[in-house]
Chains A and B, each alone.
Chain A
Amino acid sequence: MTPAPKSGRAVGAPRPAEGSAGAAPLVALKDVDFAYDQRPVLRRIGFTLEAGDFVGIVGPNGSGKSTLVDLIDGIHQPAAGEVLVKGLPTRQYKRRDMAREVALVPQHFDLDFDLDVREVVEMGGYCRGKDPAASGDPDQMLARLGVADLASRRFSELSGGEKQLVVLAQALMQQAPLLLLDEPASALDVSHQLRLFDLLKELNAGGLTVLCILHDLNLALHYFDKLLVLSDGEVAAFGPPDDVLRPEVVEAVYGVRAYLHRHAGRTYLTFSPRLRGERRGRVHLICGGGTGAGMMRELADAGYEVTAGVLNALDTDEETGRELGLQMAVEAPFSTVGEEAHAENLELLRAADLVVLSAVPISHGNARNVEAAREALAAGIPVWADEGVRANDFVGVVDELADAGAQFFAGEEALLAAVRGRSAPGAQASVRPDPPLDDGSVLPPGGVAT
């Protein structure tokens, strides 16, 4: 039995320092293992939450997030290690005392019975006893969440978003200093999601400690002070979002490619579905002025290792390549391709299985890139060129490329369609690629024989 104050203090109000000064952290997990029957779910979990923390939990499905939250609420007991709430093992709490310390908003909440919203919310005050002054007013709580009008409705008739708020109201009726939320945003549209997280932020500002499971990594980046990344039952990272959600971490934990973008002073993550360890071949792109950006992304997403060059710094393609983390040969802005960049380009190009030339306008400034492509052909690496490049050739080098054996395809869309539809044209992990088409020819998609 733990002493629980019976005050009618408003939710989220700062908690008075209790008992001994420098008291135990609100929640502490020490080397916690947990298994359902024999199946291990959590291993060696250790972290602490201090009063006032605003922490998100992220991690792939099945990584143990919900189980972790249930452990903190004392629903489960650890197989090894300790889960302490205010310094006391959760096993020593009676349920009612636990409910006064920890409130949980479950992921799934359904009620087959026809109860009023007010009745549902009022149940949250159960742990505070029968005295209405201590257990709080359900109508007031609904009003605080901006949904006072729901009070007399049937719970079963509410929309998903409304139900979520009602369950939150129910949990807040417990007046516990810690609020756990298990994917509260999963049933919500974007506006309700933002409203919910703003609300949580507000409650946190009022002193409520929040620990929230969520799936949206960008929401996690923006809203939370700290993130806990769970991977396969272990803590993969715990700390400020910017330190924790680095692309390498996301790739290691989720097995997808992650890219970090900065826009208007904020950081965003985008993802592509490429799985770890999958390498389909290496493609070198000769492009510029945005003619290659789409192919870059698509090819990288499809699992190809993409290189590019020579590109001018700050060019659209160069920026895209940088976001995607590609290896590129880069020249200074608005400059003719110089010796050093050319050499670098040749090096990248020789390592490729396929060279693709986009419909980039060819002038004296970048004619050297076409020259490089001819060297690739000489080295036995196929070169595919966008049909459109012929029209944009202002120096007449593309015809020479065609004579040397380059093949043409009918624009970016044709190439990308082939990439999406089946394994991409020609790019296998061998120096001389296998025939990309079923009939055995090495015609590029929509290609024109030369």
Chain B
Amino acid sequence: MSKLARTGKWPGILLASGILAVCLVLALALGPASLSVGRIWHLLLAGPVKGDLDNAIFWQIRMPRVLTAALVGAALAVAGVILQDLFLNPLTDPYVTGVSSGAALGATIGIVLHMTNLPWMTVLAIVGGLGTLLIVWMAARRRGRIDIFVLLLAGVTISYLASALVTVLMIKANQDMTAIIYWLMGSFSGRGWPDVRIALVTIPFMVLPLFFTREMDIMLQGEKRAMELGVEVERNKRMLLVTAGVLTALAVSVSGIIGFVGLVVPHIVRLLVGPGHRGLLPVSLLSGASLMVIADLLSRTVISPNEIPVGVVTTFVGAPLFVYLLRRGRRT
């Protein structure tokens, strides 16, 4: 266990912020046309200017892509923290609630109907994701309480159902199959400012749980104990579930399904700063952003001009790091 846990949340947050800053700079600087740090500074101050190639690369291509990646990574990590702690299950990730599969179904419908213009794809994905959450929610509600266990089962079941429907659609519309598969693999390729604007909607939902860290800490002891200690468990559970659902739906709607970040970032951060949410939530948010930005950087540079799917990179980067930290965590 790291000493960070005992020295409060600020060292962790500052360190994670520093790492994110470095990741952002690297991601903005590197690519087919590399920019020096000085140049980045200059372009940043200059703002978008027409007719300058570097400026166009920086402001029209890299900046929105990097920001989208950062926001999606942060949103998935925060959703992962919330869901793992709500389910008291370390294998939970933002996708078990069925939200992502529902969003994928929505997006697939969009592709099949050729409604691939940006607002429509996103709207369909969000509707699909939140619609799934609603169904799962209704299934898990009994006498005014959400049964977390039923929620988990219903979520997994709905996931399979949505995936099956996606498969059917893919076969039906085989000229769109490649588009659907690419969307499902997840990517930040070609993401522009409209995507950033959607991703920015995640920010209030990432901030909201920061006001409920004490309740979230107490709920780690189980729902019953939390009630005994005075927490309105059902109300908090509803708020947290909706928050995680919206974060997941928004993230998936701009990036497709990118695995591993929501599962592993919360674990890594827990090993470093402990399970207390005052540290865990902000550090996870920053680390999720960092991991996603770096993964996206690698995905577009390693075999340039081709791209490796970013979900593959998050796994390649995250898995060894996680195993290393698990082993180190055990020893101390």
Interface of A with B (CB < 8 Å)? 73, 75, 94-100, 103-104, 106, 109, 111-116, 119-120, 123-124, 126-127, 152, 154, 170, 174
- CB pair A112–B230 under 8 Å, yes or no, is no
Question: Please, how many angstroms separate the alpha-carbon atoms of A12 and B309 in the complex?
Answer: 62
Chain A neighbourhood of B224, CB < 8 A: 75, 106
B179 interfacial contact with A, CB 8 Å = no
Question: Please, how many angstroms separate the alpha-carbon atoms of A114 and B276 in the complex?
Answer: 9
Contact with A along B274-308 (1 / 0, CB 8 A): 11100000000000000000000000000000000
- CB pair A115–B230 under 8 Å, yes or no, is no
> Which of A106, A119, A154 contacts B228, CB < 8 Å?
A106
- What is the interface of chain A mostly: helix, strand, loop, or mixed? mixed
**What are 25 A-B interface contacts by the 8 Å CB criterion?**
A75-B227, A96-B230, A96-B232, A97-B230, A99-B230, A100-B230, A103-B228, A104-B228, A106-B224, A109-B221, A113-B270, A114-B5, A114-B274, A115-B220, A115-B274, A116-B5, A119-B276, A120-B221, A123-B218, A123-B221, A124-B229, A126-B214, A126-B218, A126-B230, A127-B230
Nearest CB on A from B130, distance (A): 28
| Contacts known (A114-B1, A115-B274, A154-B1); A106 close to B225, Cβ less than 8 A | yes
B88 interfacial contact with A, CB 8 Å = yes
- CB pair B275–A99 under 8 Å, yes or no, is no
Most buried by A among B1, B215, B221: B221
Nearest CB on B from A212, distance (A): 16
Contact with A along B211-241 (1 / 0, CB 8 A): 0001101101100110111111100000000
- CB pair A113–B220 under 8 Å, yes or no, is yes
Question: Please, how many angstroms separate the alpha-carbon atoms of A112 and B84 in the complex?
Answer: 12
Question: Please, how many angstroms separate the alpha-carbon atoms of A124 and B270 in the complex?
Answer: 22
Total contacts A-B at CB 8 Å: 67
Chain A neighbourhood of B1, CB < 8 A: 114, 154
B50 interfacial contact with A, CB 8 Å = no
- CB pair A174–B230 under 8 Å, yes or no, is yes
Nearest CB on B from A4, distance (A): 10
Chain B neighbourhood of A174, CB < 8 A: 229-230
Chain B neighbourhood of A119, CB < 8 A: 217, 276
Chain A neighbourhood of B327, CB < 8 A: none
Question: Please, how many angstroms separate the alpha-carbon atoms of A116 and B6 in the complex?
Answer: 9
Chain B neighbourhood of A98, CB < 8 A: 230
Closest residue of chain A to B271, judged by CB?
A114
- CB pair B88–A95 under 8 Å, yes or no, is no
Closest residue of chain B to A112, judged by CB?
B88
- CB pair B232–A127 under 8 Å, yes or no, is no
- CB pair B231–A126 under 8 Å, yes or no, is yes
- CB pair B276–A115 under 8 Å, yes or no, is yes
- CB pair A73–B220 under 8 Å, yes or no, is no
Most buried by A among B1, B224, B228, B270: B228
Beyond the given pairs A94-B232, A111-B220, 8 more chain A to chain B contacts, judged by CB atoms under 8 angstroms and listed by A's residue number, are A75-B227, A96-B230, A96-B231, A106-B228, A119-B217, A119-B276, A123-B221, A126-B215
Chain B neighbourhood of A120, CB < 8 A: 221
Nearest CB on B from A287, distance (A): 56
Contact with A along B37-67 (1 / 0, CB 8 A): 0000000000000000000000000000000
Closest residue of chain A to B232, judged by CB?
A95
Question: Please, how many angstroms separate the alpha-carbon atoms of A75 and B6 in the complex?
Answer: 34
Question: Please, how many angstroms separate the alpha-carbon atoms of A75 and B232 in the complex?
Answer: 11
Chain A neighbourhood of B215, CB < 8 A: 126
- CB pair B227–A95 under 8 Å, yes or no, is yes
B residues 73-103 touching A (CB-CB < 8 Å): 88
Question: Please, how many angstroms separate the alpha-carbon atoms of A124 and B230 in the complex?
Answer: 9
Most buried by B among A73, A99, A116, A126: A126
| Contacts known (A115-B220, A115-B276, A126-B218); A95 close to B231, Cβ less than 8 A | yes
Nearest CB on B from A401, distance (A): 68
| Contacts known (A114-B274, A115-B274); A99 close to B228, Cβ less than 8 A | yes
- CB pair A126–B229 under 8 Å, yes or no, is yes
- CB pair A95–B218 under 8 Å, yes or no, is no
Question: Please, how many angstroms separate the alpha-carbon atoms of A129 and B231 in the complex?
Answer: 11
Nearest CB on B from A63, distance (A): 20
Chain A neighbourhood of B214, CB < 8 A: 123, 126
Most buried by A among B214, B220, B229, B232: B229
Closest residue of chain A to B89, judged by CB?
A112
Nearest CB on A from B215, distance (A): 8
Chain B neighbourhood of A154, CB < 8 A: 1
Closest residue of chain B to A113, judged by CB?
B275
Nearest CB on A from B299, distance (A): 33
> Which of B217, B220, B221, B229 contacts A127, CB < 8 Å?
B229
Question: Please, how many angstroms separate the alpha-carbon atoms of A116 and B279 in the complex?
Answer: 14
- CB pair A114–B275 under 8 Å, yes or no, is yes
Question: Please, how many angstroms separate the alpha-carbon atoms of A302 and B214 in the complex?
Answer: 57
Chain B neighbourhood of A111, CB < 8 A: 220-221
Question: Please, how many angstroms separate the alpha-carbon atoms of A112 and B231 in the complex?
Answer: 19
Closest residue of chain A to B214, judged by CB?
A126
Most buried by A among B6, B227, B276: B227
- CB pair B221–A73 under 8 Å, yes or no, is no
Nearest CB on B from A98, distance (A): 7
- CB pair A109–B225 under 8 Å, yes or no, is yes
- CB pair B228–A115 under 8 Å, yes or no, is no
- CB pair B227–A115 under 8 Å, yes or no, is no
Chain A neighbourhood of B270, CB < 8 A: 113-114
Chain B neighbourhood of A104, CB < 8 A: 228
Nearest CB on B from A78, distance (A): 14
> Which of B88, B228, B231, B275 contacts A75, CB < 8 Å?
B228
Question: Please, how many angstroms separate the alpha-carbon atoms of A324 and B220 in the complex?
Answer: 51
The 7 closest A-B pairs by CB, nearest first: A99-B230, A127-B230, A113-B275, A96-B230, A104-B228, A123-B218, A113-B220
Chain A neighbourhood of B276, CB < 8 A: 115, 119
Question: Please, how many angstroms separate the alpha-carbon atoms of A95 and B234 in the complex?
Answer: 11
Question: Please, how many angstroms separate the alpha-carbon atoms of A123 and B215 in the complex?
Answer: 9
Question: Please, how many angstroms separate the alpha-carbon atoms of A247 and B225 in the complex?
Answer: 37
Chain A neighbourhood of B227, CB < 8 A: 75, 95
Closest residue of chain A to B233, judged by CB?
A95
Chain A neighbourhood of B220, CB < 8 A: 111-113, 115
Chain B neighbourhood of A113, CB < 8 A: 220, 270, 275
Closest residue of chain A to B215, judged by CB?
A126
> Which of B217, B232, B233, B275 contacts A123, CB < 8 Å?
B217
Chain B neighbourhood of A100, CB < 8 A: 230
Closest residue of chain A to B223, judged by CB?
A75
Question: Please, how many angstroms separate the alpha-carbon atoms of A174 and B218 in the complex?
Answer: 13
Question: Please, how many angstroms separate the alpha-carbon atoms of A170 and B221 in the complex?
Answer: 12
B residues 1-39 touching A (CB-CB < 8 Å): 1, 5-6
Chain B neighbourhood of A103, CB < 8 A: 228
Question: Please, how many angstroms separate the alpha-carbon atoms of A94 and B233 in the complex?
Answer: 11
Nearest CB on A from B83, distance (A): 15
Chain A neighbourhood of B217, CB < 8 A: 115, 119, 123
